[in-house]
Structure 1
Amino acid sequence: MHNWDWDDLRLILAVAEHASFAGAARHLNVNHTTVLRRVNTFEQAHGLRIFNRLATGYTLTEAGEELLRTAEIMRGAVSDLSLRLEGKDLKLEGTLRITTCDTIMGSILPQILEKFSKQHEKIVVELSTGPFVTDLAQRHADVAIRTGDNPTESLIGRHLSDVRFALYASIEMAVLLEGDDPLTFTKWISPDLTFSQMAVTKWIQSTIPASSIIFKADSLISLRQAALAGMGIAPLPRYLGDNTPGLVRLKSDALDPFTTGLWILTHRDLRHTARVREFISFVSDELRQRSF
């Protein structure tokens, strides 16, 4: 009868997923020698060889693969239990993990977070601008503030607003363009293939000559910075462009047909957690007061 230690199994999972002790150590924020020592101790204690030591890395033995499957089941159970217990948390304190996109954090969200933190000093906000679907699915985040449409059914939340788009340019370039149709201008800034499915990107590809596009980027924040530098006209969400000193919204209705949703989302199991419920209510009220 083996007496499994979950911390040991968690460590073995990390080694298997990163194919190295060094990668596992970085992921778990521990020393490389600690990982090596604990794996060796585990193998000796249970009379098992978990890993094949190869020049290219570490692979699981047959026994290791069996152990990994069990460890993955245990990780899911521990995660589910943790989430259910967090969902019963009635205290306005602790860590609140938020995921959002760089455009929201680069414009309207910092002031809202500052007000929230002043009112709730015992809640520590941890923020990520990573891929929110992965963050929420893997439970690396409690709440997502995101643009988009049709959020996954496993999440619940509120549709806060429709986000509109417009054309922006630096103050100097706006003066140069005054009275002219922006669509005739020959210096444009465009999202790259990262945003190929976005309606605004498709509009640029079908409307603006390729010879007029002088800069592309995989970030709307980068497009904003290029427009601020006077490189050309950039299509941006209004919440980003309107909240950027030095940018001017150009007189054009070309992007009026394009909108997307602004959502605040969480797990079903966390909807009754006090700090999650309070944050969603606070941010919803704040964002609904703003123009998008």
Structure 2
Amino acid sequence: MKLVLAIARAGSLGGGAAALAVNHSTAFRRLNALEDKLGVRLFERLPGGVYQPTAAGERVASTAERVETEADALSRDVSGQDQRLVGSLRVTSSETLAYSVLTAELARFRTAHPGIVVDLVVDNRILSLSRREADIALRVTRPKEPDLFGRKLADIGWTLYGAPSLVGDGPVDLAAFDFVGWGEDASGIAAADWINERIARTRVVYRASSLINQFTAAKAGIGLVLLPCYLGDPEPGLCRVIDEPIAELARELWIVTHTDLRKTARVRAFFSIVGDGLIAKSSLMRGERLA
């Protein structure tokens, strides 16, 4: 059932195999064996490696999803009653947050609770807390799902940065500068859209899907870059090109967990230590100029 659900979600055998951390040939053998045993075809094999569920496949996948949901709910319910400050805690965070301000707070948490092992998943995607892809998420969006519990930690400011040797001391004409930006398929990312709307395409001379790589490229003098202030301001190899945070790029940082886990001792301890630590850095996060 897990195999059929994984393939149905991914839309391909390779994607389903990757989700289950097995190789392609193993998933292929298991699916063929399952179809032989049931005497029914579960997927139509379409051109381009697409696997489309048949009516039987949809029935199996739907049942598997219900079983998964019940199993995850049971797991959260049992975990939510755990009042021990030992065990593991799976946390997900963006790349830039993990690179900069988060690590020091994780060190403080480790000192306070050495019996808790933090498993940090650095991923810019929004992982599912309902499916236990993570226990706690640090997100730049307010949680909308009714089964999630969150706490706002800070506002996040963004502005434009460049290497001092590139920017100089005089007035800045953005049309005269090269830029570091996102890949061509990055529509929907606010920073990428801001660049696309205001900067000529020919002036974006370097593109990367990683904001940390963009940050590094800007320090090397390749071009100007949009960054969250908590990443750009502490870096001596960069200076602000636009003095104030850009209003339309403002975001919020939230710490989020599933409601079933909010009273777990490990989760409460993380909210308290790491959450309060990030709140204490809210001036840096907002992009306030410090003396």
TM norm structure 1: 0.77
User: Does the C-alpha gap of structure 1 residues 209 and 158 become closer, same or farther in structure 2, counting only changes over 3 Å?
Assistant: same
Contact 1:157/1:266 (8 A) holds in 2: yes
Deviation (angstroms), 1:104: 0.7
Q: How far apart, in 1, do the equivalents of 2:58 and 2:83 lie?
A: 40
Identity of aligned residues (%): 35
What is the aligned partner in structure 1 of residue 188 from structure 2? 197
What is the aligned partner in structure 2 of residue 217 from structure 1? 208
Q: How does 1:39-188 map to 2 (within 5 A)?
A: 48-49=38-39, 68-130=61-123, 132-148=125-141, 150-154=142-146, 155-174=148-167, 177-188=168-179
What is the aligned partner in structure 1 of residue 288 from structure 2? none
- Which one-letter code corresponds to 2:143 in the other structure? P
Contact 1:12/1:39 (8 A) holds in 2: no
Q: How far apart, in 2, do the equivalents of 1:113 and 1:221 lie?
A: 20
Contact 1:227/1:233 (8 A) holds in 2: yes
What is the aligned partner in structure 1 of residue 233 from structure 2? 242
Structure 1 gap segments, 5+ residues each:
1-8
**Of 269, 272, 278, the match for 1:287:** 278
Q: How does 1:230-269 map to 2 (within 5 A)?
A: 230-250=221-241, 252-253=243-244, 255-256=246-247, 258-269=249-260
Structure 2 gap segments, 5+ residues each:
286-291
Question: What is the DSSP-based 3-state SS (H/G/I as helix, E as strand, rest coil) of the residue aligned with 1:135?
Answer: coil
Contact 1:166/1:238 (8 A) holds in 2: yes
Deviation (angstroms), 1:209: 3.3
RMSD across aligned positions (CA): 3.6
- Which one-letter code corresponds to 1:83 in the other structure? R
Q: How far apart, in 2, do the equivalents of 1:25 and 1:231 lie?
A: 36
Contact 2:182/2:207 (8 A) holds in 1: yes
- Which one-letter code corresponds to 1:152 in the other structure? K
- Which one-letter code corresponds to 2:144 in the other structure? T
Matched pairs, number: 278
Deviation (angstroms), 1:268: 1.2
Deviation (angstroms), 1:246: 2.1
Contact 1:167/1:236 (8 A) holds in 2: yes
Deviation (angstroms), 1:151: 2.3
- Which one-letter code corresponds to 1:271 in the other structure? R
User: Does the C-alpha gap of structure 1 residues 43 and 285 become closer, same or farther in structure 2, counting only changes over 3 Å?
Assistant: same
Q: How far apart, in 2, do the equivalents of 1:208 and 1:34 lie?
A: 46
